[in-house]
Amino acid sequence: MTRSTRIKFRLIAQSNVKSLLPINLVLLVPTLLFLFTLMKIVPVVLGFFDTLNVSVLETSPRYDRLAIVVISEAGGGTRGSVREAVYVFDREVFRKVRKAIFLGNYDLLEQRALGFSELPLSSNSLTIRDPEGALIASLKIESVKEGAIEIIFYSSKAKVASEWLIIYAVLLLLSWIVVSGSFGGINDFTQRIVFHEPKRFGYLFHAIRRHFARSLSVSLFFCVVIGAVIANVYFYIFIVASDISVFIAAINAWMFLFFLLVLFWVYPLLVLSQEESIWKVMKKSLFVSFDNFLYTLKALGVLILLLAGSCLTLFVFPGISFCFGFINTALKEISSRYSKLDVT
């Protein structure tokens, strides 16, 4: 990305605040609803995957944020008679000893843990107590793969009643449909501002209706793919942590970056290529991204900063509209290279 793009975007943003800011206000309620329900559901989903092999049956009221580490040593163990062990940490302490877990520094783990125990061979239930004998946590351990490390984050505040969980899931889905389905229309509206073809504000709702189905389809595709990649990274880093899992997680991290680069140009090209299939639009986006790889990578970095700033203001400013305004400004900057975008 060039300095020229940043300057042009700043000028466009400053001169069109009255046109762009109301878009964020229109989407404010569904956006906040989506973020709120997402924060409620994600810990529950992560907790479900975390407890596939290790379940937390009971914890002391004194502890509401724990990190439980189950270690199974390859080859039967190298620490005396101990083959498998479980350590319970306060979440803050866990961050400081994470490296020691993978280096096998068991003495340090025992010193910093709230409590630890060998895994019994004849039972899958286990009670962890502190040095004074007080209960820390009761666990149920189904199975631990040899040579693996499983890390479970437990929070008593993450529990959600089943009826509320259903309500949150429905609200999450509805708010996601409204927000992601609006991306195409918002992009259309901001694109016309960037290309000096401004429309009245009422045009926004017409554009949202026109692009809603295609925008929703693209959003669904990338949500599924990127969600699967993120889930793989989480699974191989925190649930099955071994030598090979770190390598697999690294591959998935690069895949995540790849799909972000593809996604970067999809919505602007979706508006510009209304008569073409979504698949061909994604191929175009892929072509533009890698034909302008460094430019796209830098622009993606700026977009991430804009999104981070939006989180601080609850997506009021700069928000979704200014983010799309930036993407369209970047596209206009490189569009002179292509007389016609055509990828076959």
**Residues 180-207: pLDDT tens digits?**
999 999 999 999 999 988 889 999 999 9
Question: Do residues 212 and 315 share a domain?
Answer: yes
Number of domains, the chain: 2
Per-residue model confidence (pLDDT) at position 241: 54
306 and 213 both lie in a single domain: yes
pLDDT tens by residue, 86-97: 899 998 898 888
Tokens of 105: 């520094």
What single letter denotes the amino acid at residue 13? Answer: A
DSSP structure class, residue 156: G
User: Does residue 10 belong to any structural domain of this protein?
Assistant: yes
Q: How confident is the model at residue 144 (pLDDT cuts 50, 70, 90)?
A: low
> Is residue 49 situated within a structural domain?
no
Going by pLDDT thresholds of 50, 70 and 90, the confidence category of residue 81 is: very low
Is the confidence at residue 79, as pLDDT, over 80? no
32-41 tens-digit pLDDT: 999 999 988 8
> Is residue 344 domain-resident?
no
Instruction: Based on the fold, state whether residues 138 and 282 are members of the same structural domain.
Output: no
138: confidence class by pLDDT, cuts 50, 70, 90: confident
Reduce the DSSP state of residue 293 to 3 states and report it: helix
Residue 279 lies in a domain: yes
The encoded tokens of residue 191 equal 């694109």
For residues 233-238, give the mean pLDDT.
Answer: 69
Same domain, 61 and 128: yes
Q: Flag whether 315 is in a domain.
A: yes
Tokens of 13: 């943003």
Q: Is 106 part of any domain?
A: yes
Residue 143, pLDDT above cutoff 70: no
Domain boundary among 115, 143, 171: 143
End-to-end CA distance of the chain: 26
342 part of a folded domain: no
**Rounded mean pLDDT of the chain?**
84
Report the pLDDT value the prediction gives residue 48, as an integer from 0 to 100: 67
293: burial class by Cβ within 10 Å (0-12, 13-18, 19+)? exposed
Percent of the chain topping pLDDT 70: 84
Boundary of a domain, candidates 143, 174, 194: 143
Q: Which two tokens stand for residue 216?
A: 């929703």
Least confident of 128-137, 188-197, 290-299, 318-327: 128-137
Segment 156-169 mean pLDDT: 75
Lowest mean pLDDT among 71-85, 94-108, 118-132, 272-286: 71-85
233 or 321: whose pLDDT is higher? 321
Give the domain range for residue 312: 3-44+161-337
Do residue 135 and residue 183 come from a single domain? no
More confident call, 195 vs 249: 195
List of residues 6+ apart from 199 with CB closer than 8 A: 189, 192
Q: 78 with 138: CB under 8 angstroms?
A: no
* Domain shared by 280 and 187, yes or no: yes
Task: Kindly tell me the burial class for residue 49, based on how many C-beta atoms sit within 10 Å of its own C-beta (0-12, 13-18, 19 or more).
Answer: middle
Residue written as tokens 């439980």?
68
Domain boundary, last residue among 109, 143, 177: 143
Look at residue 245 and tell me whether its pLDDT is greater than 80: no
Say if residue 266 is exposed, middle or buried (CB neighbours under 10 Å; 0-12, 13-18, 19+): buried
Same domain, 110 and 172: no
Report the pLDDT value the prediction gives residue 89, as an integer from 0 to 100: 93
Considering the domain architecture, whether residues 76 and 196 belong to the same structural domain is answered as no
Q: State the pLDDT at residue 121.
A: 61
User: How does DSSP classify residue 237?
Assistant: I
- The pLDDT of residue 25 is above 90: yes
Same domain, 133 and 15: no
Instruction: Tell me: do 32 and 110 sit in the same domain.
Output: no
C-alpha distances (whole Å) from 47 to each of 85, 102, 225, 317 are: 21, 22, 21, 33
Does the pLDDT of residue 120 top 80, yes or no? Answer: no
Per-residue pLDDT reduced to its tens digit, 316-325: 999 999 999 9
- Write the pLDDT tens digit of every residue in 251-283: 888 888 888 888 899 999 999 888 889 999 999
The DSSP output letter for 36 is H
pLDDT for 323: 95
Q: Are residues 169 and 135 in the same domain?
A: no
* Residue 133 and residue 267 in one domain: no
Q: 3-class SS at 275?
A: coil
- Inside any domain, residue 153: no
